[in-house]
Amino acid sequence: MLRESDLNSSPDDAIAAPPAVADSAAASDSGQDEAISEYEGFWPVLRNRNFLTLWSGQVFSQLADKVYLVLMIAIIGSQFDAPDQSISGWVSAVMVAFTIPAVLFGSLAGVYVDRWSKQAVLVLTNLLRGGLVIALPALLWLSQDWGSIRQIPVGFGLLLGVTFAVSTLTQFFAPAEQAMIPLIVKNPRLLAANSLYTTTMMASVIIGFAIGEPLLTLADTLLKSVDGGAGWGKSLLVGAGYVIAGLLLLLVRTHKDTLPEHEPPHPWDDIKDGVRYLGTKPVVRNAIVQLVLLFSVFAALAVLAVRLAEVMPALKASQFGFLLAAAGGGMAVGATLIGQFGGRLPRRSLGFTGSLGMAGALAGMAWTTQQLWPTLGLIALLGLFAALIGIPMQTTIQEQTPAAMRGKVFGLQNNVVNIALSLPLALASVAESWLGLSLVLTILGGVVASGGLLTWYSADTGDDGTVNASLTQPESDRA
């Protein structure tokens, strides 16, 4: 349950060790210099052995996540697709199975992450996901003669069950990873750490979808002499990615990953505590609102990209991935720039500039819907400016939330984002058919600009009306 001290304490107060002990442990644990007097970009973060280990685990885990979806499509195409059926129905069912746990368990997972060792959650969720994926070929082989239930093959039902389980474990992994970063990285380095985190996430989307199919084919070829061409190599490759991530995360060390004493979890009360905490912290609440708006715009863009590719003479509808890759590339560039130089600028200025830049890019796209290269350039700028919003806002949430509340807050954040994503995914194509592509893009630009104004006028104001220094001062001045 939330205590009054949790609401009023600073993030550093939530760590039980005395200041001198905590600072000493953080310095020795993370491999950082104790004196942090100026912003030096990525280098101090990359010298942090614990963060480097966490980041390495993230690389394998994120790539496995992205290639997992490619694996599902490959399995469906080879085992369940029929000549008179479209594969899209099977794929949609898998996507629904992957999405439902995010809505059902996002907040609940955060409650338990606060009660458990973050490292244990990171390790076990990866090892369990790896084990499920590696076991998938055996499950499909055993069920091949089990027939169908209401015209749905039992093997496909097992595929949906494994996907549901993998996604459920991911709901625990995500808030634990977000809560772990501020335990091993000092506040002045969080912006750079989150920039690397975001860069890796965006790069995994591009690389995972781009090389997923060739990698799976190569794995099947290498294992052909063992499994007789049954295609088990694909699952072993993806499962190995999760297992390697879990083994790497065993090496992370921090004295701050302590467990609450005695009190058992009260899931519903703890979720209400998290909501109540957000009600008392407008800085954190408005940062989450900004992230929800940001992800909603990109969810709508993912749908509209298909229509953009369709109306462009230079592209086919099936080539919409080129447009999304441009957004991911732009965000990776933006994350790199923020990690290197963003600490010299106030958070409020970064967020506001990002909002105006995204709004301008969306408005520009409304005028270039049939021109490939200008649209690619504007989408890349959209990704770059999105990084100016997403990374500072995520860093602000980590800095302003006490350690004892981070799991709840990140769980609620992920839950709200996943629920909010369903609306633009459902409405974007309908709105485009009624209003036209150009008008919908303009409206999205207006939504982003409104979010920027919200951040500028209210996200930096505390309960007592004072201005929060974390958003109005450069990182180096606060260090």
User: Of the candidates 228, 253, 278, which is a domain's last residue?
Assistant: 253
Residues 423 and 274 in one domain: yes
Residues 144 and 167 in one domain: yes
137 in any annotated domain: yes
pLDDT given at position 13: 38
pLDDT given at position 344: 77
Other beta carbons within 10 Å of 208: 20
Instruction: Please state whether 55 falls in left (phi above 0), alpha (psi between -120 and 50) or beta.
Output: alpha
Residues 245 and 147 in one domain: yes
15 in any annotated domain: no
pLDDT given at position 263: 58
Residues 207 and 323 in one domain: no
Residues 303 and 200 in one domain: no
Residues 319 and 444 in one domain: yes
210 in any annotated domain: yes
- Predicted model pTM: 0.70
User: Of the candidates 220, 253, 286, which is a domain's last residue?
Assistant: 253
308 in any annotated domain: yes
Residues 70 and 217 in one domain: yes
Secondary structure (H, E, C), the chain: CCCHHHHHCCHHHHCCCCHHHHHHHHHHHHCCCCCCCCCCCCHHHHCCHHHHHHHHHHHHHHHHHHHHHHHHHHHHHHHCCCCCCCHHHHHHHHHHHHHHHHHHHHHHHHHHHHHCCHHHHHHHHHHHHHHHHHHHHHHHHHCCCCCEECCEEHHHHHHHHHHHHHHHHHHHHHHHHHHHHHHHCCHHHHHHHHHHHHHHHHHHHHHHHHHHHHHHHHHHHHHHHHHCCCCHHHHHHHHHHHHHHHHHHCCCCCCCCCCCCCCCCCHHHHHHHHHHHHHHCHHHHHHHHHHHHHHHHHHHHHHHHHHHHHHCCCCCHHHCHHHHHHHHHHHHHHHHHHHHHHHHCCHHHHHHHHHHHHHHHHHHHCCCCCCHHHHHHHHHHHHHHHHHHHHHHHHHHHHHCCHHHHHHHHHHHHHHHHHHHHHHHHHHHHHHHHHCHHHHHHHHHHHHHHHHHHHHHHHCECCCCCECHHHHCCHHHHC
Q: How many domains does the chain have?
A: 2
Measured distance CA(192)–CA(190) in Å, rounded = 5
Residues 279 and 209 in one domain: no
478 in any annotated domain: no
Q: What is the CATH number of the domain that holds 335?
A: 1.20.1250.20
445 in any annotated domain: yes
Measured distance CA(249)–CA(272) in Å, rounded = 31
40 in any annotated domain: no
pLDDT given at position 174: 87
User: Of the candidates 231, 253, 275, which is a domain's last residue?
Assistant: 253
pLDDT given at position 474: 56
Instruction: Note down the domain range covering 444.
Output: 267-462
Residues 275 and 350 in one domain: yes
Residues 340 and 397 in one domain: yes
Residues 216 and 184 in one domain: yes
Residues 208 and 281 in one domain: no
**Regions in the chain scoring below 70 on pLDDT:** 1-41, 81-88, 202, 205-206, 209-210, 227, 229-230, 255-267, 317-318, 421-422, 425-426, 455, 458-479
302 in any annotated domain: yes
pLDDT digits (tens, 9 = 90+) for 147-184: 777 777 888 889 999 999 999 999 999 889 888 999 89
